[in-house]
Structure 1
C-alpha cells in the first residue's frame, strides 16, 4: 500500500527524513506530500476562529496519512470533530521562539499589549503562546489585535511599525536580534513545553500498525543522524530555500537545529495537561467552536510503539 506522509520545513524531523531515504527502506511505496504545495485553508477571522492548517488534509482525498506539526493543529482538528490520534512528541522546544517587541516601543510587559497589534502565524503554536501570555498577564484575546503573519515574516512588519509585538521563531528571529535591540516580553519556557508532535487518523493507525511502526522507527533513526550531523542537516533547509529563489544562512540553520530536541517520545500526562489547558483556553476565548477532551486522541498501543522505537534507536 502507499503511505502518504505530509512534510514541510517547520517540522524539522519530517523534512530531513524526506531527504534521507530511510523510510523508503521499510515502505518502498511511501509518497511525500509537501504541505506548501497544497491549497491553503479557508480564510479565518483571526479574532473569532482558528484555521485548520494541516489537519483537514488527513481526511481529504489526495492528502496524507501522517503529519508532524506544532502544538495547536491537533487541538483544532479535534474541535472540528476530526478523529485524529497522537503518534508522539518531541522534547521541549523552549528555545525555538518567544514574544518580542522593539526595545524602543515603550512596551515593557505582556500586560502592556492591551489594544496592541501582535503578529502570529495564526493556528500554529504561536497562537497558543500568545494566548497563554495574555492569560498570565490577566488579558484575553479580545484585549489585543492579533495579526496573522507567515511564520518568519513578522520581523519586517515589526520594524516597519505595522506590528507592536511579534512571536518570533528561529532561525528568522536571529537576524532581527543581531540588527536591532529587542525586548523579550514572554519567553516560551515560562508558558509551556512547546514540543513538536506527530499525529494521524484513527482508522489509519488501527489498520496499518506496521506502517506506523516503520514511520516512528525511521523518524528515530533520522533524528539521531540530525543530532550527530547538524550542519549536514541544516544544508537541506538552505538548499530548499535556494531552490525556491531565496537565500538562507547555513550557520543560522545549524545553530537553530543544535538548539532543538530530536527524537520521538510517547505522549505523557504533562503534555496532555498542557494540551487540555490550551484547548480550554482557546474555547473560552471564542477560537474553538466547542470544548474537547484531548485524551480521546490517545491510543495506548501507540505509546508502546514509540517506546519500542526509542529503545532500538537511542537519540
Structure 2
C-alpha cells in the first residue's frame, strides 16, 4: 500500500523529511502530496468561521494519510466532526513569532486593537494567538477586524498600513525587522506553547501500526539531522522558494531553523489542556460550530511508540 503524506514549508519537519530521503529507507511506498498543489478549501469569513485547511484532505480521495501542522487545524477538524487522532507534538515554539504593530502607530497594547485590523493567516496558530491575546484583555473576536493574509505577505501589508497589527513569524518577520521598527504587543511565550503537531485519521492509526511507526521513527531521525545540519536543511526551503519563482534568504532560514525545537514527542496533559481551552474559546467566539472534547482524539499506544523511539533518535 502506498502511504500518502501531506507536506508544506510551514511544517518544517515534514518539509525536510520530504527532501532528505530518510523516510523512503523505512517505507519505500511513499507518495508526497504538496499541500500547495491541492485545490484550496473554501475561504472562511475570518469574522465568523475557520477554514478547514488541512483536516479535510485526510478524508478526501486524492488527499493524504498523515499531516503535520500548527496548533489550530486539528481543533478545526474536530469541530467539523472529523474523526482524527493526535500523533505527537514538538517542543514549544514560543520564539517563532509574535503579535506586532508598526512603531509609532499609536498601538501600544493589545487593548488598543479594539476596532483595528489584525492580519493573520486565518485558521493557523496565528488565529489562536490573536484570540488568546484578546481574551486576556477581556476582548472578544468581534472587537477586532481580522484580516486573512498569507504568512509571507503580512509584513508588507503592515508596513503599507493595510493592517494595523500582524501576527508575524520568522523568517518573514525578520524581513520586516530589517527594514522597519515594529512594536511587540504580545509575545507567544506566556500565551500558549505553540508546538508543531501531527495527526491522522483514526482508521489509519488503527489499521497501519507498522507504517505509522516507520513515519514516527523517520521523523525523529530527520529532526535530529536538521539540528546537526541546519544550513543544509535551510537550503531545501530556499531552493523551493526559487523553484517557485520567489526569493528566500539562506541565512535567515538557517537562523529560523536554529531557533525552533525539533523532535516528535507524545501529547501531554498540558498540551491537551491548551487545546481544550482554545477549542472552547473558538466556539464561544463563534468561530467553531460545535464544542469538542480533545481528549477523545488521543490513542495512548501512539504515545508509547513515540516514547520508545525517543531514546534511539533523541534530538
Question: What is the root-mean-square deviation of aligned Cα atoms in Å?
Answer: 0.5
Q: CA deviation at 1:152?
A: 1.6
Task: Give distance in 2, aligned partners of 1:177 and 1:237.
Answer: 20
Task: Give distance in 2, aligned partners of 1:43 and 1:266.
Answer: 32
Farther off after superposition, 83-92 or 19-28:
19-28
SS in 2 for 1:312: coil
Q: Which residue of 1 aligns with 2:220?
A: 220
SS in 2 for 1:101: strand
Q: TM-score, normalised by structure 2?
A: 0.99
Q: CA deviation at 1:70?
A: 0.1
Deviations 1:43-92 (A, max 9, x none): 21111100000110000000000000000000000011100000000000
Structure 2 residue runs without a partner (length 5+): none
Task: Give distance in 2, aligned partners of 1:22 and 1:162.
Answer: 43
Q: Which residue of 2 aligns with 1:311?
A: 311
Task: Give distance in 1, aligned partners of 2:249 and 2:168.
Answer: 17
Structure 2 matches for 1:109-148, cutoff 5 A?
109-148=109-148
Task: Give distance in 1, aligned partners of 2:172 and 2:182.
Answer: 14
Q: CA deviation at 1:138?
A: 1.1
SS in 2 for 1:44: coil
Task: Give distance in 1, aligned partners of 2:184 and 2:207.
Answer: 46
Q: Does 1:297 align with 2:286?
A: no
Task: Give distance in 1, aligned partners of 2:22 and 2:43.
Answer: 36
SS in 2 for 1:86: strand
Task: Give distance in 1, aligned partners of 2:112 and 2:10.
Answer: 30
Q: Does 1:237 align with 2:237?
A: yes
Task: Give distance in 2, aligned partners of 1:308 and 1:21.
Answer: 23
Q: Does 1:163 align with 2:199?
A: no
Q: CA deviation at 1:8?
A: 0.3
Q: CA deviation at 1:38?
A: 0.3
Q: Which residue of 2 aligns with 1:264?
A: 264
Task: Give distance in 2, aligned partners of 1:100 and 1:232.
Answer: 30
Task: Give distance in 2, aligned partners of 1:104 and 1:252.
Answer: 26
SS in 1 for 2:18: helix
Q: Does 1:281 align with 2:281?
A: yes
Structure 1 residue runs without a partner (length 5+): none
Structure 2 matches for 1:1-315, cutoff 5 A?
1-315=1-315
Task: Give distance in 2, aligned partners of 1:154 and 1:247.
Answer: 16
Q: CA deviation at 1:26?
A: 1.4
SS in 1 for 2:311: helix
SS in 1 for 2:6: strand
SS in 2 for 1:104: coil
Q: How many residues get paired?
A: 315
SS in 2 for 1:303: helix
Task: Give distance in 1, aligned partners of 2:45 and 2:233.
Answer: 37
